[in-house]
Amino acid sequence: MRILIIGGGGREHAIAWCLAKSPQKPTLFVAPGNPGTHELATNITLNAQNSAGVVSFVKDNKIDLVIIGPEQPLVDGLADFLRKNEISVVGPSAMAARLEGSKSFAKAFMARHGIPTAAFKTFRQDESREALRFVREQGAPIVVKASGLAAGKGAIVCLTLSEAELAIEQLMVGQTLGDAASEVVVESFMTGEEVSVFVLTDGLDYVTLAPAQDHKRIGEGDTGPNTGGMGAYAPAPAYTPQIEQEVRRRIIEPTLAGMKGEGHPFQGILYVGLMLTPTGPSVVEFNCRLGDPETQVVLPLMKEDAVDVFRAMAEGGIEKLSLEKVHESSACVVMASAGYPGAYQKGRPITGLDVSSDPSVMVFHAGTIENDIGEIETNGGRVLAVSATSATLKGALDLAYDRVARISFEGSQYRRDIGQKGLGLALDINTSVSSNPAIRQK
């Protein structure tokens, strides 16, 4: 089995690591990869925006399966081009990927299909005055979102009216996020626990991975600006069996059935970002791929052969899989560059990356690069994701933080409160059977 993974971050390193454990011993290629994936696969230079070039590489190298990690190639239609060339691929079509690529589309889709989400209104970029009038009428707290892709930084939670006015000014007048804010969604502020649920689907049937909880804010106690994610843990005990049943019935199955009914069946990985509000679970956002850093906690808990899982999403037969109930916990702590999520410097040498003898601890590379003399240096905002598994969440967190303490680079920053919401809560995650005949779940 020869597999090509598109992407070069911590998510793709975790995917490669998970596939490398398969007893099928797949041959792995990662484009472009990073120093971490280099230990597991052949890193290659390949422009994901050049669909024809990707197809040529796949055919020349007899690739059996392509896994697209990041959102941009999916929104751009790379999966469509590969399928037209009869290449097995994990990833939704461009039309289905609009669930992430356009928040205005996703919100309108949820409204059409009765899927619970925050109340909202969408504005074009030339409607800044109308948007300002709307937020003043609604008051704060309120959320202002760029509709397009913004690397996880397009959602601005505004606790005061002045913050909301500034967000409108920056996105719609200053165009700080460019075309990503050609439309802006303003929605009501939801309260509750956030949970990330990953749905693996072949377009007809689906299974889910362990529910996770991400930590978006840069500062401890969920303070400061949003980031791409500063850490995660799984399973999230707030996602009880009762909530899981409701999410399947009211959110997952209507979403998959709705996409299929509108002529764009979703095939691949659907991320459902949830807020567990006092009135029930509600969708914060959809993504069309695995999240980062949630991937680094949910894949280590998956016991099924990863080759079989990814191949089933691409070629069908997901109903034949039996993902085991999770009896362990996983935690991930992200080490970031000084200044992130704002301006940061690169090229800082990293020490302490020697391979650990503990197989339950993993260091996934994200923003790293190997210099001319073979040293690993920082090359991004989020540099490393240190993950660990254990019988308990506390055990996983202890292992992860112990490993973090032995890694060093100038200006490194990380949160010291990852997983605190999950400690002490009862863990009772189970599986359930779909009640929607349009979308079957084993």
Each residue of 5-32: pLDDT tens digit? Answer: 999 999 999 999 999 999 999 999 999 9
Strand-pair partners of 207: 200
Q: How many CA atoms lie within 13 A of 342 on its CB side?
A: 4
Q: Is residue 180 situated within a structural domain?
A: yes
Neighbours of 226 (CB within 10 A): 17
Over range 250-271, report the average pLDDT: 97
154 lies in which domain range? 119-188
Whether the CA torsion 310, 70, 439, 259 is positive or negative: it is negative
pLDDT band at 425 (very low <50, low <70, confident <90, very high): low
Strand-pair partners of 387: 332, 362
Over range 44-53, report the average pLDDT: 95
Whether the CA torsion 95, 98, 99, 103 is positive or negative: it is negative
Residue 441 scores a pLDDT above 60: no
* Residues 138, 80 within the same domain: no
Which CATH number do you get for residue 125?
3.30.1490.20
Which CATH number do you get for residue 87?
3.40.50.20
pLDDT in the model for residue 225: 86
Residue 3 scores a pLDDT above 70: yes
**Which residue type is seen at 154?**
G
Question: Rounded to a whole number, what is the distance in angstroms from the first to the last CA of the chain?
Answer: 26
pLDDT in the model for residue 424: 64
Nearest to 227 by CA among 334, 367, 147: 334
What is d(CA 244, CA 432) in angstroms, rounded to the nearest whole number? 8
Whether the CA torsion 19, 202, 312, 62 is positive or negative: it is negative
pLDDT in the model for residue 167: 94
* Residues 124, 82 within the same domain: no
Over range 410-433, report the average pLDDT: 72
Query: Is residue 16 within 8 Å of residue 37, measured between CB atoms?
Result: yes
Over range 416-432, report the average pLDDT: 65
* Residues 13, 77 within the same domain: yes
Q: What is the pLDDT of residues 58-81, one digit of tens each?
A: 999 999 999 999 999 999 999 999
Q: What is the pLDDT of residues 139-150, one digit of tens each?
A: 999 999 999 998
Q: Is residue 271 situated within a structural domain?
A: no
Q: What is the pLDDT of residues 89-127, one digit of tens each?
A: 999 999 999 999 999 999 999 999 999 999 999 999 999
What is d(CA 229, CA 293) in angstroms, rounded to the nearest whole number? 6
Q: Omega of the bond prior to 241 within 30 degrees of 0, cis?
A: no
Q: Where a domain ends, among 157, 188, 219? A: 188
Q: Is residue 40 situated within a structural domain?
A: yes
User: Phi and psi of 96, rounded to 5°?
Assistant: -70, -35
* Residues 133, 79 within the same domain: no
Q: Omega of the bond prior to 141 within 30 degrees of 0, cis?
A: yes
Nearest to 182 by CA among 190, 172, 193: 172
Q: Is residue 11 situated within a structural domain?
A: yes
3-state secondary structure 161-210: HHHHHHHHHHHHHCCCCHHHHCEEEEEECCCCEEEEEEEEECCCEEEECC
- Tell me whether strands 27-32 and 42-43 are parallel, antiparallel or unpaired: parallel
* Residues 40, 75 within the same domain: yes
* Residues 71, 22 within the same domain: yes
Q: Where a domain ends, among 127, 159, 188? A: 188
Sheet holding 120-124, edge to edge: 120-124, 183-188, 142-146, 155-158
Whether the CA torsion 286, 382, 94, 156 is positive or negative: it is positive
pLDDT in the model for residue 154: 86
User: What does pLDDT average to over the chain?
Assistant: 93
Q: Is residue 320 situated within a structural domain?
A: no
Q: Is residue 50 situated within a structural domain?
A: yes
pLDDT in the model for residue 198: 97
Q: Is residue 37 situated within a structural domain?
A: yes
What is d(CA 241, CA 314) in angstroms, rounded to the nearest whole number? 28
pLDDT in the model for residue 381: 96
Query: Is residue 253 within 8 Å of residue 245, measured between CB atoms?
Result: no
Q: Is residue 64 situated within a structural domain?
A: yes
Q: Where a domain ends, among 188, 216, 245? A: 188
Query: What's the domain count of the chain?
Result: 2
Residue 226 scores a pLDDT above 90: no
pLDDT in the model for residue 323: 82
